[in-house]
Amino acid sequence: MIHLPKTRRVAISQLLAGSAAITWPALALAATKEEATYDQGTISHDVTEFFGSTTEGLAKVIEKAFAENGRPNGFIKGEEASAAVTIGVRYGNGTLTLKSGGSSKVYWSGPSIGLDLGANAAKVYILVYHLPRVDDIFKRYAGVDGSLYYIGGAGINYQRRGSVVLAPIRLGVGVRAGASVGYMHYRREKSWLPL
């Protein structure tokens, strides 16, 4: 007996019943996309283990990321530090892992400017969307930071380059308030130059 994933069983039963106009290539594409991405339950469990605790704010931040961007095909687990007095800098490092296979050590840094004041250190879990290969991470990504996505001790912002979206989730210590714009440069090697 052949065991198929639930999504394939439902689609096949719909086809046999004649109640859906689903083609086999579309079915295969949907199954492949699902296999190459992480579901919300897996990410929620991994984020909770990574941060060592769970909060209502953290759960809401993850829910928001999935609602707005869907299922990620990778993630970066790391840590970072930042400081700002109108002009700010952020430095971090972590390990990128893609669901389709492959991983790499990643370093990032970037400048920002805006109504921003303070400093913080944080563990960061970055959801990665639409990244075809590990090597494609090593570029600059524009982003907006601020309190807009700050919920109950956990924060999230989005960085974009073309179709690739990075969604850093931060849960850390320190005092930093305000909003800023800037970019993050992801590199293979550590650099103190934030540009």
Q: Give the gyration radius of the chain's Cα atoms.
A: 19
Within 8 A by CB and 6+ apart from 120, the residues are 81, 82, 83, 170, 172, 173, 174, 175, 176
- The model carries a pTM of 0.74
Residue boundaries of the structural domains of the chain: 6-35, 55-187
Q: What is the pLDDT of residue 76?
A: 97
Residues 170, 123: contact at Cβ < 8 Å? yes
Q: What is the pLDDT of residue 170?
A: 82
Pairing relationship of beta strands 164-187 and 150-151 according to DSSP bridges:
unpaired
Fold of 55-187: Lipocalin (2.40.128)
Q: What is the pLDDT of residue 32?
A: 54
Q: What is the pLDDT of residue 60?
A: 86
Q: What is the pLDDT of residue 14?
A: 46
Q: What is the pLDDT of residue 190?
A: 80
Q: What is the pLDDT of residue 116?
A: 56
Q: Which residue positions in the chain have pLDDT lower than 70?
A: 1-33, 54, 84-86, 113-119, 144-153, 172-182, 192-195
pLDDT tens per residue across span 115-144: 555 667 778 999 999 999 999 999 998 875
CA 68 to chain centre: 11
**Token pair listed for 77:** 């687990």
The Cα–Cα gap between 169 and 176 comes to 15
The Cα–Cα gap between 190 and 109 comes to 9
CA distances from 153 to 89, 116, 135, 149, 168 (A): 21, 18, 32, 11, 14
The Cα–Cα gap between 128 and 126 comes to 6
Q: What is the pLDDT of residue 115?
A: 58
Q: In the 8-state DSSP scheme, what is residue 100?
A: T
CA distances from 122 to 62, 91, 100 (A): 17, 11, 28
